[in-house]
Amino acid sequence: MKMALGSLAACLAFGAFAAGPEISGVMIRQRWPWSRLVDIDYVLTSDQKIDVAVTGFNGTTPLSLPLFSLTGDLYGQSSGAHRIVWDPMATAYTNEGVLGKFRVSLTPTLPPLYMIVDLTMDAGAQGQITYVSEEDLTNGLWGGVCQESDIVPEVMPQRLPL
């Protein structure tokens, strides 16, 4: 009995130290005066490959940063130092003046394994496209849900160049 309780306590202790992916050391620098590009440097700590979601703010006001304005280490990243480059000229903010309180929030996300497209819905309808990660499949969230009206292509591990 003592052996079982000791093993259980050890498992719980090791589980407490197992942390998910973490992003730290976020630094933002504009390449001014030579360029308007903005470098977003960060350090990722993760046991698996991770995608990084970027949310921009001017102070507390959220900004819409289109995906085509972001390049660099966004998809399939492992532990280490990384850089994302934001091109403000590819956004509507060039007419807004100076974004004096620009900041970002970087969120680590598990890359999707499959994309489920419901063909019974109109193109672009809310909920027509659902991304499913490996974790969703192994936890039984999507077992046997797909129907004949669904297309399930495998998601590419990185964004294709345009």
Q: 100-143 pLDDT, tens per residue?
A: 899 999 999 888 877 778 888 888 888 888 887 777 766 655 55
Higher-confidence position of 24 and 134: 24
Residues 65-89 have pLDDT tens digits of: 999 999 999 999 999 999 999 999 9
The residue type found at 162 is L
Residue 59 predicted with pLDDT over 50: yes
Q: Are 130 and 155 in contact (CB under 8 A)?
A: no
Residue 162 predicted with pLDDT over 50: no
Mean pLDDT, residues 29-36 taken together: 90
